[in-house]
Structure 1
Amino acid sequence: MGAYPSRSSSDVIAPTLTCRSVVSAGELAQHARIRHSVFVEEQGLFERTDQDEFDHDPTTHHVVGYAEGVPVGTVRLYRVPSPDGDEALWQGDRLAVLSGHRHLMLGGPLVRYATETAAAAGGDRMIAFVQPANVTFFRRLGWSPVGGPVAYVGVPHQQMSIDLT
């Protein structure tokens, strides 16, 4: 029998993960394709498209996450009115990572990029509505649940919040 080389975890090189705000039509198309793959084709949350009015608002930030330069994740963020009118409130949504790349842990960098972007734009707080399976993930990133689950496109979602100041 021949010897098989073994690899320790220190021999494994983690892929380079980067997140960038969309600056071109091509990047915006990549963003839309990833979201369509996750929310329409895989999860069936939307029938034909997950695009809405925020996608056409020029103040919306569309973000693409890359693994070794390949676009595999997205998030978008935009300013929303605060209930009391006294704070700069941002919402993050459409967090998506292609199923074959979820093991790379790109979700964390995408969420951190979104919160840093909102904070740099003067945001006080950010909210997101997440599927229950992702509540623990958001808690680990410093987010807190607000209220109980609510229905969104017929699926329970939990509102989460994080202070940006």
Structure 2
Amino acid sequence: MGASLSRSFSDQAAPHHVCRTVTAAEELEEHLRIRRSVFVAEQSLFEQTDQDEFDRDPSVHHVLAFADGVPAGTVRLYRYPAPDGERLWKGDRLAVLPEYRHLWLGGPLVRYAVETAAAAGGARMIAYVQLGNVSFFRRLGWSKVGGPVAYVGVPHQQMSIDLT
């Protein structure tokens, strides 16, 4: 009998993760494809597309997470207008393709967004997250702000993190 070709999980090398802001049109298309797959096809939060006016703003950071070189997740962040002049940033459209969720790419994506906003001079960052993700964000140092609010028909919790 020949040797088995399969390896146990502990024998397999951990995948290499990289998060970075997209730099080319092809990467932006991958970013949008992942969002469409998660928010339109999987979760049915939007009918045709989740794209909005922020996607047309050249100052917006569209981020991709790669697992062993394969685009697997996204987050979007941008300077958000605050009435009091606060250096406020917003993160949204955090998405990881189902086949990569076991790799826990959400944490690196959120940390990358926070670090990027802080490096750009942000003082605070906000996000509206689905209720099932509140404890995940709290473990990353975020705090709840107020109570849940409806966004595209689904309850979301505003979260905040200090960037200074």
Same fold, TM exceeding 0.5?
Answer: yes
- What letter matches 1:16 in structure 2? H
Match of 1:147 in 2: 146
CA distance in 1, matches of 2:37, 2:151: 19
- What letter matches 1:142 in structure 2? G
1:164 aligns with 2:135: no
| Secondary structure at 1:149 match in 2 | strand
| CA-CA distance at 1:14 after TM superposition | 1.4
Mind listing any 5+ residue stretches in structure 2 that lack a counterpart? none
Q: Render the CA deviation track for 1:68-106: whole Å, top value 9, x for unaligned.
A: 000010000001112422x20000000000011100000
1:49 aligns with 2:49: yes
Change (3 A) 1:17 1:156: same
CA distance in 2, matches of 1:42, 1:59: 28
Match of 2:117 in 1: 118
- What letter matches 1:35 in structure 2? R
CA distance in 2, matches of 1:142, 1:80: 20
Identical counterparts, % of pairs: 73
Q: How does 1:62-141 map to 2 (within 5 A)?
A: 62-85=62-85, 87-141=86-140
CA distance in 1, matches of 2:150, 2:161: 21
Mind listing any 5+ residue stretches in structure 1 that lack a counterpart? none
TM-score, L = length of structure 2: 0.94
Change (3 A) 1:8 1:91: closer
Runs of 4+ in structure 1 over 4 Å off: 3-8
Q: How does 1:4-43 map to 2 (within 5 A)?
A: 7=8, 9=10, 11-43=11-43
- CA RMSD of the aligned region, Å? 1.8
Moved more, 11-20 or 87-96: 11-20
| Secondary structure at 2:66 match in 1 | strand
Change (3 A) 1:14 1:84: same
| CA-CA distance at 1:6 after TM superposition | 8.1
